[in-house]
Amino acid sequence: MSKIKEEFKHIKESQVTITQLMLPSHSNFSGKIHGGHILNLMDQIAFACASKHSGNYCVTASVNKVDFLNPIEVGELVTLKASINFTGRTSMVVGLRVESENIRTGEKKHCNSSYFTMVAKDENGKSAPIPGIILTTKSEIRRFARSVKRQEEGKNRTSRFSSKVFKTDDYLYLFERSNSKIELKENN
């Protein structure tokens, strides 16, 4: 097991911004940009930011919730911004923000934000230790703390719904006003 690197970097050192024109080939039949295309761009910029910070090839370990807040139109400029929010031993959380801009009107829209957990890999494909981050603003401290809390909540969420500990009767009230019907078979 590799140990923590005794090295730290300022967050600004690995921040990445890209802007792309959205073309008809990126759109669906209604002229809106495919969500999958935006996710692909988000993964690319998360990789670039994480690799720049770690100095290694990085892989996506998980993506925290992605909500598409506003549609992106063909002909708009899309700007993606990535920044390291948290560093562990070999992993980092990359915060992403996606904005679109109408070239004619100058109107800008926040389209989505998300958090990608990226893991650094060495030349043998093993997890590689990464530099820590130097936090210099209250906003950076808030983002770091939010990442720690998200990780804790994720572990709790995973264990609470594990098939070994899940108790069906404890959750039946959730179905009272749902658009579902339970036809539970014996031995399930």
Taken in order 57, 61, 63, 64, the sign of the CA dihedral is negative
Q: What pLDDT digit, counting tens, does each position of 61-81 carry?
A: 999 889 999 999 999 999 999
Answer yes or no: are the C-beta atoms of 160 and 128 closer than 8 Å. no
Output 15 or 186, whichever has higher pLDDT.
15
pLDDT of residue 187: 63
pLDDT of residue 20: 97
Considering the entire predicted model, what is its pTM?
0.85
Mean pLDDT for 154-183 is 83
pLDDT of residue 4: 60
Q: What pLDDT digit, counting tens, does each position of 129-140 carry?
A: 999 999 999 999
- Mean pLDDT, the chain, integer: 92
Whether the predicted pLDDT of 55 surpasses 60? yes
